[in-house]
Chains A and B, each alone.
Chain A
Amino acid sequence: MATNNVVALPIPDGSRPLLAKRNRLSADSWFKWLTAGAGLLIILLIVAITLQAYLSSRPSLIKFGWHFLVGTNWDPVRDDFGALPFIFGTVVSSLLALVISVPISFGLAIYLAEWSPGWLRGPLGFVVELLAAVPSVLYGLWGIFALAPFLRHELEPFLAKSFGFLPMFQGPHQGLGMLAGGIILAIMITPTLASVSREVMRAVPQVLREGALALGATPWETVRMAVLPSARSGLMGAMILGLGRALGETMAVTMVIGNRAEISASLFAPSYSMASVIANEFTEATGDTYLAALAEIGLLLLVVTLLMNIIARLLVGRSRMVKQ
């Protein structure tokens, strides 16, 4: 672009800006283009990853088609693959993690946002966020050596004794399994859920709380009637963010979930998640169909996670508008 040295005379009728763009290659333009480039690069990266996953999984897409999504057999020796046990394992372990984590995280967020004394707010919030900094392999190790024996000897027998009539709590007590996976994931998504929920609740205007208190509401009623309803879409966004994290978690899950591609009603039974099977089998997989099947599972996981994150962004964004 040539430097525009001709200065247009300012005409005060609104048809042209008062200060004409004198130099197109100013530092501002450079900066705008650089940052735009960075943003574009990220988008291109995501597109490239999705495209690569699609291309790598083409042999499997062609061979199995839609049957891949409902097939339950995963047999590398006979080259027969179906993703349903993994979809089941991923979805159920993530939902279980949500069910366990949401009451704890929301309770924590409410306490931090509304009721905790000022001196405690900082340290407690910091400790919760510290949980997010623990590497997932450490969670997995802790799961194998501490959580699994606890489940095997204490929790699972207790649940079987109290709720054994439900199919969810039947079966041998092995420690590793869906329940262990769900608990580990719950611990891992609690920091995310608690932080986002706390921010969302803090964004609720103070007038709503004051109005409720003025009408004679107790602290719990204030939260229930004034804070939670207006923060609702933001809280849902937080839940979906946590769900997104749980869907993609690999190492910690694969070390405790039992790695068995079977669908079972019991929480004590071993299961298998999409991320785990890729981590376990990809390095040693030989054979085009096998590799393509694993790539297709990656593609499924990518699509599901991207969807969840987009929905979360939209919902959290909407709750911010409440402030205005």
Chain B
Amino acid sequence: MTPRISILATTAICATALLACSKKTEAQKTDTAQSAAFAAPKVESIAINGAGATFPFPLYSKWMADYNQRRPDVKINYQSIGSGGGIRQISAGTVDFGATDAPMTEDEVKKVPRKILHIPTTLGSVVITYNLENLSSPLKLTPEALSGIYLGTIKKWNDAKIAKDNAGAKLPAKDISVVYRSDGSGTTAVYTDYLTKVSPEFKEKVGQGKSVKWPVGLGAKGNEGVTGQVKTTPASIGYVEYAYATQNHMPMAELRNAAGSFVAPSIPATTAAAAGVDLPNELYASVTNAAGADAYPISSYTYILVYEDLVDPVKGPALADFLWWAIHDGQTRCEPLGYSKLPAKVVSQVESKLRTLQVGNKRALAEN
């Protein structure tokens, strides 16, 4: 009898200990939240979860940290699992908001239980980086040259189609080593969106998407993989996010935009591209190859996905207030991190959209 009792006793003690432990952590959490809310009256800590694109992650982290100082009772957690993951999670309702570089497709929108909104938050751009010696000024590429390189029809650096725009440069007679992103990514989605717009041959042969079948080249994983590969391979070319190129001091090509001028990638050039495109009521649009003399041709918005009806009476208003802050005060954090601010016109459009956010029948936004 004794062994049996001792086993039952051990099991009972373990079970009680586990239950007690979980109760204790909850109590600890509320304590820290309450001690942090020094200014506000005693409210529960509001935890909001989001997931999605990796591209805006540095900016969103800064936003969430800064917003937490403004509203210490609101704690926002963001997991950068990729745009596809963000869309999946918000569709399944496991997160309060999603984030994506590429807008949802019609099929994806059909799978969502209720109306979902795209909120543009910031802009980024994709730059073309390369590894060539003896270039005194940045490489200039036309849409024909760039699409030819990535289609494999232009094989050598000293091809006439590249040389004609780079009169002073000594381009080598070497094969172009093309590098693309092996993982599915918003960067590829934006870049292929641009290429399909400027090259009918690319549109037919390859198409647009987060993962495509590239005709030539080899794939590196992540922006960091492409950066590493281009840096260590002579006579190579690749595409990366603007922030990566600037932080790694990599050369960036000047691209000829729709207006015919060669534009170097920069934060103002990306904002200029967005200013040249009118956003429709759904608030998502492609801004690649935008009109405008100073527009950089491979720019794109990134979006936060929220349901129009936020449902939760505590989290809903908090999330709506965060988004309002993000498009106003939050925009000052963009440029130091390498992102572009939303144009003023877009900010007012997003303001109207945010005012339509609801919790049940009431408006989610408290102010004006």
B183 CB contact (under 8 Å) in A73, A144, A177, A281: A281
Q: Is the CB of B183 within 8 A of A280?
A: yes
Q: Is the CB of B233 within 8 A of A152?
A: yes
Shortest B123–chain A CB gap in Å is: 21
User: Complex: how many Å from CA A258 to CA B220?
Assistant: 7
Known: A259-B220, A284-B83. A254 touches B213 (CB 8 A): no
B88 surroundings in chain A (CB, below 8 A): 286
Q: Is the CB of A284 within 8 A of B233?
A: no
Q: Is the CB of A78 within 8 A of B207?
A: yes
User: Complex: how many Å from CA A286 to CA B88?
Assistant: 8
A258 CB contact (under 8 Å) in B184, B185, B218: B218
Q: Residue of A at shortest CB range from B208?
A: A77
Q: Is the CB of A26 within 8 A of B225?
A: no
Q: Does B161 contact A (CB under 8 A)?
A: no
Q: Is the CB of B184 within 8 A of A175?
A: no
Q: Does A42 contact B (CB under 8 A)?
A: no
B218 surroundings in chain A (CB, below 8 A): 174, 176-177, 258-260, 270
User: Complex: how many Å from CA A89 to CA B294?
Assistant: 45
User: Complex: how many Å from CA A254 to CA B229?
Assistant: 13
Q: Does B182 contact A (CB under 8 A)?
A: yes
Tell me the chain A residues, 147-205 only, with Cβ under 8 Å from chain B.
148-149, 152, 172, 174-177
Q: Residue of B at shortest CB range from A277?
A: B182
Q: Does A210 contact B (CB under 8 A)?
A: no
Q: Is the CB of B232 within 8 A of A285?
A: no
Tell me the chain B residues, 156-175 only, with Cβ under 8 Å from chain A.
175
Q: Is the CB of B82 within 8 A of A261?
A: no
- Determine chain A's interface SS by DSSP, over half rule: loop
A259 CB contact (under 8 Å) in B7, B177, B219: B219
Q: Does B352 contact A (CB under 8 A)?
A: no
A76 surroundings in chain B (CB, below 8 A): 184, 209-213
B228 surroundings in chain A (CB, below 8 A): 144-145
Q: Residue of A at shortest CB range from B214?
A: A260
User: Complex: how many Å from CA A76 to CA B214?
Assistant: 11
Q: Residue of A at shortest CB range from B212?
A: A77
Q: Does A25 contact B (CB under 8 A)?
A: yes
Q: Is the CB of A77 within 8 A of B183?
A: no
Q: Is the CB of B225 within 8 A of A255?
A: yes
Q: Is the CB of B105 within 8 A of A149?
A: no
A283 surroundings in chain B (CB, below 8 A): 81-82, 84-85, 183-184
A73 surroundings in chain B (CB, below 8 A): 213
B105 CB contact (under 8 Å) in A172, A175, A285, A286: A286
A126 surroundings in chain B (CB, below 8 A): none
Q: Does B108 contact A (CB under 8 A)?
A: yes
Shortest A33–chain B CB gap in Å is: 11
Q: Residue of A at shortest CB range from B185?
A: A284
A284 CB contact (under 8 Å) in B85, B105, B206, B217: B85
Quick one: CB contact mask for B196-222 with A, threshold 8 Å, 1 for yes?
Answer: 000000000011111111100111110
Q: Does A221 contact B (CB under 8 A)?
A: no
Q: Is the CB of A260 within 8 A of B233?
A: no
B115 surroundings in chain A (CB, below 8 A): none
Q: Is the CB of A75 within 8 A of B183?
A: no
Q: Does B3 contact A (CB under 8 A)?
A: yes
Q: Is the CB of B175 within 8 A of A172?
A: yes
Q: Is the CB of B84 within 8 A of A254?
A: no
Q: Does A214 contact B (CB under 8 A)?
A: no
User: Complex: how many Å from CA A177 to CA B217?
Assistant: 11
B219 CB contact (under 8 Å) in A30, A258, A284, A287: A258
User: Complex: how many Å from CA A261 to CA B215?
Assistant: 10
Q: Residue of B at shortest CB range from A172?
A: B175
Known: A25-B4, A149-B232. A254 touches B182 (CB 8 A): yes
A78 surroundings in chain B (CB, below 8 A): 207
Q: Is the CB of B107 within 8 A of A27?
A: no
A106 surroundings in chain B (CB, below 8 A): none
Q: Residue of B at shortest CB range from A286?
A: B84
Shortest B211–chain A CB gap in Å is: 4
B357 surroundings in chain A (CB, below 8 A): none
Q: Residue of A at shortest CB range from B183?
A: A280
B211 surroundings in chain A (CB, below 8 A): 76, 280-281, 284-285
Shortest B213–chain A CB gap in Å is: 5
User: Complex: how many Å from CA A144 to CA B221?
Assistant: 11
Q: Does B334 contact A (CB under 8 A)?
A: no
Known: A145-B228, A148-B232, A175-B233. A284 touches B210 (CB 8 A): yes
Q: Does B87 contact A (CB under 8 A)?
A: yes
Q: Does A68 contact B (CB under 8 A)?
A: no
Q: Residue of B at shortest CB range from A284?
A: B184
Q: Is the CB of B219 within 8 A of A77?
A: no
Q: Does A139 contact B (CB under 8 A)?
A: no
Shortest A243–chain B CB gap in Å is: 24
Shortest A232–chain B CB gap in Å is: 40
7 residue pairs, one from A and one from B, having the closest CB atoms: A284-B184, A259-B219, A259-B182, A77-B207, A27-B3, A284-B84, A258-B218
Q: Hey, which bits of chain A sit against chain B, CB under 8 A?
A: 25-27, 30, 73-78, 144-145, 148-149, 152, 172, 174-177, 254-255, 258-261, 270, 276, 279-281, 283-287
20 A-B pairs (CB sep. < 8 Å): A27-B7, A76-B184, A76-B211, A144-B229, A144-B232, A145-B232, A148-B232, A174-B177, A174-B233, A175-B233, A260-B219, A280-B182, A281-B211, A283-B81, A283-B85, A284-B84, A285-B184, A286-B84, A286-B88, A287-B107
Known: A76-B211, A283-B81. 18 other contacts (CB 8 A): A27-B3, A27-B7, A30-B3, A148-B229, A172-B177, A176-B218, A255-B221, A260-B217, A260-B219, A270-B219, A279-B221, A280-B211, A284-B83, A284-B185, A284-B210, A285-B184, A286-B84, A286-B88
